[in-house]
Amino acid sequence: MNARQAVGLAAIALVFCGLYVRALTAPAAARFVPPRAAGEEKAAAPRYATQLLPNSSTQSVHSATALEIPGGKLRAFWYGGTREGASDVAIYTSVYSPKEETWSPERAVMTRELAQRQLQRSVRKLGNPVVGRDRAGRMCLYFVSVSVGGWAGSAINLTISEDEGETWGPARRLVASPFFNISTLVKGVPLLLSDGTIALPVYHEFLGKFGETLRLDGEARVVGKTRLSWGKSSLQPVIVPRSETEAVGFMRYAGDPPARILEIRTTDGGAHWTEPVKTALPNPNAAVGSVLLVGGPLALAFNNAEENRESLSLALSTDFGNTWRVARNLEGESLPPHAPVAEYSYPWIIQDSSGSVHVLYTWGRSRIKHVVFSRAWLEGGGR
Amino acid sequence: MTATSFFGLLGCGLLCLALVATALRLDRFSVRVRQAVAVIAVVALFVPVGGLPLAAYLRGVTGDLSVPTLALAASACVSRITGRSLFAPRECSALLGLVAAAALFLYPFALGFTPFDPYALGYASIAFTTALLLATLAAWRAGLNLIVFVVVAAAAACLGGVYESRNLWDYLIDPLVAFYALIRLGAGAVGRTFPRRQS
């Protein structure tokens, strides 16, 4: 062995020791953090209120996401611009005060130009935002950006706020695909796992349409991923855990008729998932939202039609998704006022710490609508 | 600018320079002209245009480039600017063969057509690490130093967090070098199957 060979062998030994140490110390399989108990509702009487979020900035809005902040308030995000995919699309935010029952004027937190500068790469347009928290309680805003092409060219970025969304750190790119890191998008709620890592539901729509979860470590770096489905017809996974090991997931369906919401399940903390099966609920190739309400019923917000997004309903399941009953209709032909464009889509549903349930969704592409109600109203029958 | 952005832009700048040098066939010109063009190209790549350096526009499309792409880009730059070859043809062919094999294993499955996702192995898999170690040792034994260099550099870069990705695959391969390898090997196979007749 000559000196050059010896150096080569030593280098191999050194880096592979590092790779083995990395493999042996990688985060082990984690468990879900079961939903926290919400407080008792202040009023037992059914309560239902709606309002449109402020929008003095843009002609078109879409894809709302929200989370609770201190004081029982809600901070929402969505994207808006001249139209979907336009270069002036930005991510906007607004805060809801339950005391005043009003939303603050919207303001942009991320523009294409800002993302481009912070990511140090060209960005053509922005897309879906999704908000969650990391183990330190920081607010994490994941958002889609596209450098070239349509939504199939998407990648996910992350920016973090340490002051409940008032100011934001520099955005950075999450790498989730080996093919130019394109075709990864977000829509579902990020889940905090028992070891402090995050499971971020994502989906791909380049050649195939399928779902995955990305595992993010404490520094919000992607350190693993798990495939939720495969093929060309399932996307926008939403995952709802009910115990440390058990969860159900729902996915938008983009395949052949009959058009139904897809369902997946895990019993080992998300390490393995069942193959997607069609539920009894229709799906017009549109996103759904779901939350496990305190006390057990699973709520699902969905477009209650196979071919359009002109109705939006809430379904309840008392057996964790095996059977459903449509409890309320939020939008539909018989429910004025109608939006200029009859599209009610991309619902985001959460239950706050007081027990109130909030649904935010795209209302006619021109506004984000907020519906807040009590569980008593939800379970009170058809509207 | 973050360190990961710096390294990402540097890699894209190197590829741009290699493309410029190859497109202009810089080796036809005098050494002074070659050096001047190279300097101008480097400056142009990193001067902001519309708030971003030119290299960032390529980065927006390609993402961060793998070590084999950078090695081949560096080789093209050196060859076109100094007239010397950085790597022996045998070394390059072996690297491209390995890249092509990896591409055929990785991309069809990573694009979601099956439940199996080889890309996930790149985060921290004992099996994947062992397979790569065996391949690297075989290359070392055969005296294929370029492969050894590429794997060692990719692993070190991954462990050091040079790019935003923590996935070893992203340091070992990217679609650019994969396409290049498959085309080169395909063309070579066609050439051997249908040799040109001497006139």
Give the structural domain span for B49. 1-85
What is the structure's pLDDT at A21?
95
Distance between B21 CA and the closest CA of chain A, angstroms: 23
Sequence-separated (6 or more) residues with CB below 8 Å from residue A100: none
Residue B105, burial from CB neighbour count under 10 angstroms (0-12, 13-18, 19+): middle
Same domain as B115, residue B23: no
Same domain as B91, residue B158: yes
Sort out which chain A residues have CB atoms less than 8 A from B171's CB and list them: none
- Structural domains of chain A, count: 1
Residue B150 domain flag: yes
DSSP string of A321-355, one letter each residue: TSS-EEEEEEEBTTBSSPPSS--EEEEEEEE-TTS
A255 interfaces chain B, CB cutoff of 8 Å: no
Sequence-separated (6 or more) residues with CB below 8 Å from residue A288: A236, A238, A250, A251, A252, A261, A300, A301, A302, A303, A347
B7 interfaces chain A, CB cutoff of 8 Å: no
Distance separating alpha carbons of residues A216 and B97, to the nearest angstrom: 34
Residue B43 domain flag: yes
B167 interfaces chain A, CB cutoff of 8 Å: yes
B24 interfaces chain A, CB cutoff of 8 Å: no
Q: State whether residue B26 is helix, strand or coil.
A: helix
Distance between A170 CA and the closest CA of chain B, angstroms: 10
Distance between A213 CA and the closest CA of chain B, angstroms: 11
Closest residue, chain A, to B118 (C-alpha): A178
Distance separating alpha carbons of residues B170 and B154, to the nearest angstrom: 9
User: What is the phi-psi region of residue B44: left when phi exceeds 0, alpha when psi lies from -120 to 50, beta otherwise?
Assistant: alpha
Same domain as B101, residue B77: no
Residue A332 domain flag: yes
Closest residue, chain B, to A116 (C-alpha): B52
Q: Which two tokens stand for residue B70?
A: 């950078």
- The share of chain B scoring above pLDDT 70, in percent, equals 98
Give the structural domain span for A191. 35-381
Residues 211-250 of A with CB under 8 A from B: 212, 221-227, 230-231
What is the structure's pLDDT at B197?
65
Among B85, B100, B117, which residue terminates a domain? B85
Same domain as B94, residue B64: no
B173 interfaces chain A, CB cutoff of 8 Å: yes
Same domain as B104, residue B80: no
CB pair distance less than 8 Å for B111 and A207: yes
Distance between B159 CA and the closest CA of chain A, angstroms: 7
Point out the residue among B112, B140, B155 whose CB comes nearest to the CB of A8: B140
Residues 291-350 of A with CB under 8 A from B: none
Q: Please give the average per-residue pLDDT across B143-160, as a whole number.
A: 96
Give phi and psi for B92, each to the nearest 5.
Answer: -65, -45
Residue A125 domain flag: yes
Sort out which chain B residues have CB atoms less than 8 A from A11's CB and list them: 148, 152
Cα A129 from chain centre: 8
Same domain as B75, residue B99: no
- Tell me if A142 sits within 8 A of A199, measured CB to CB: no
Q: Which two tokens stand for residue A329?
A: 């209709």
Q: Which residues pair with A132 in a beta bridge?
A: A140
Same domain as B92, residue B181: yes
Q: Which two tokens stand for residue B100?
A: 């092509």
Residue B73 domain flag: yes
Give phi and psi for A206, each to the nearest 5.
Answer: -105, -90
Same domain as B109, residue B187: yes
Residue B1 domain flag: yes
Q: Which residues pair with A302 in a beta bridge?
A: A313
Point out the residue among B63, B106, B148 whose CB comes nearest to the CB of A8: B148
- Tell me if B25 sits within 8 A of B37, measured CB to CB: no
B43 interfaces chain A, CB cutoff of 8 Å: no
Q: How many CB atoms lie within 10 A of CB A25?
A: 9
Best residue in A5, A121, A233, A264 for a mutation probing chain B (most B CBs within 10 Å): A121
Same domain as B157, residue B139: yes
What is the structure's pLDDT at A383?
46
Residue A343 domain flag: yes
Sequence-separated (6 or more) residues with CB below 8 Å from residue A311: A303, A304, A305, A329, A331, A332, A333, A344
- Structural domains of chain B, count: 2
Give phi and psi for A276, each to the nearest 5.
Answer: -60, 135
Point out the residue among A9, A22, A120 whose CB comes nearest to the CB of B5: A120
Residue B60 domain flag: yes
Residue A18 domain flag: no
Q: Which two tokens stand for residue B192?
A: 């051997």
Say how many Å lie between the first and final Cα of chain B, rounded: 58
Q: State whether residue A112 is helix, strand or coil.
A: helix
- Tell me if A197 sits within 8 A of A215, measured CB to CB: yes
Cα A228 from chain centre: 15
Closest residue, chain B, to A207 (C-alpha): B111
Q: State whether residue A214 is helix, strand or coil.
A: strand
Give phi and psi for A208, each to the nearest 5.
Answer: -110, 165
What is the structure's pLDDT at A305?
92
Sort out which chain B residues have CB atoms less than 8 A from A230's CB and list them: 112-115
> No. of H helices and E strands in chain A?
3, 26
Distance separating alpha carbons of residues A7 and A5, to the nearest angstrom: 5
Residue B199 domain flag: no
Same domain as B142, residue B113: yes
Distance separating alpha carbons of residues A319 and B160, to the nearest angstrom: 48
Q: State whether residue A6 is helix, strand or coil.
A: helix
Distance separating alpha carbons of residues B56 and B46, to the nearest angstrom: 9
- Tell me if A263 sits within 8 A of A321, measured CB to CB: yes
Residue B75 domain flag: yes
DSSP secondary structure code for residue A310 in this structure: S
- Tell me if A201 sits within 8 A of A219, measured CB to CB: no
Strands (E) located in A4-153: 48-52, 60-69, 73-81, 90-97, 102-103, 107-110, 125-133, 139-146
Residues 60-89 of B with CB under 8 A from A: 60-63
Q: What type of residue sits at position B144?
A: L
Residue B198 domain flag: no
Closest residue, chain A, to B51 (C-alpha): A117
- Tell me if A183 sits within 8 A of A177, measured CB to CB: yes
CB pair distance less than 8 Å for B2 and A116: no
Distance separating alpha carbons of residues A348 and A301, to the nearest angstrom: 8
Distance between A175 CA and the closest CA of chain B, angstroms: 5
B54 interfaces chain A, CB cutoff of 8 Å: no
Sort out which chain A residues have CB atoms less than 8 A from B4's CB and list them: 172
Closest residue, chain B, to A214 (C-alpha): B120
What is the structure's pLDDT at B103?
96
CB pair distance less than 8 Å for B8 and A120: yes
Instruction: Return the closest-CA partner of residue A80 out of A59, A96, A103.
Output: A59
pLDDT tens digit sequence for B63-122 = 999 999 999 999 999 888 887 888 899 999 999 999 999 999 999 998 888 899 999 999
What is the structure's pLDDT at B189?
83
Half-sphere exposure of A235 (CA within 13 A, CB side): 24
Point out the residue among B62, B124, B165 whose CB comes nearest to the CB of A175: B165
pLDDT tens digit sequence for B3-49 = 999 999 999 999 998 998 898 888 888 888 888 888 888 888 888 88
Residues 100-119 of A with CB under 8 A from B: 113, 116-117, 119
User: Exposure pattern of A145-177 as b/e (b: 16+ CB <10 Å)?
Assistant: bbbeeebebbbbbbbbbeebbeebebbbbbbbb
Q: Which two tokens stand for residue A17?
A: 């020791």
Among B85, B116, B142, which residue terminates a domain? B85
CB pair distance less than 8 Å for A9 and B119: no
Instruction: Return the closest-CA partner of residue A284 out of A214, A224, A343, A213.
Output: A343
Can you give the pLDDT of all 383 residues of chain A as single tens digits? 788 889 999 999 999 999 999 999 988 888 998 876 555 555 567 889 999 999 988 999 999 999 999 999 999 999 999 999 899 999 999 999 999 999 999 999 999 999 999 999 999 999 999 999 999 999 999 999 999 888 889 999 999 999 999 999 999 999 999 999 988 999 999 999 999 999 999 999 988 899 999 999 988 899 999 999 999 999 999 999 999 999 999 999 999 999 999 999 999 999 999 999 999 999 999 999 999 999 879 999 999 999 989 999 999 999 999 999 999 999 987 777 777 788 999 999 999 999 999 999 999 999 999 999 999 999 886 54
Place of tokens 């990719």: B154
Same domain as B23, residue B38: yes
Same domain as B135, residue B176: yes
CATH code, A80: 2.120.10.10
- Tell me if B68 sits within 8 A of B152, measured CB to CB: no
Sort out which chain A residues have CB atoms less than 8 A from B66's CB and list them: none
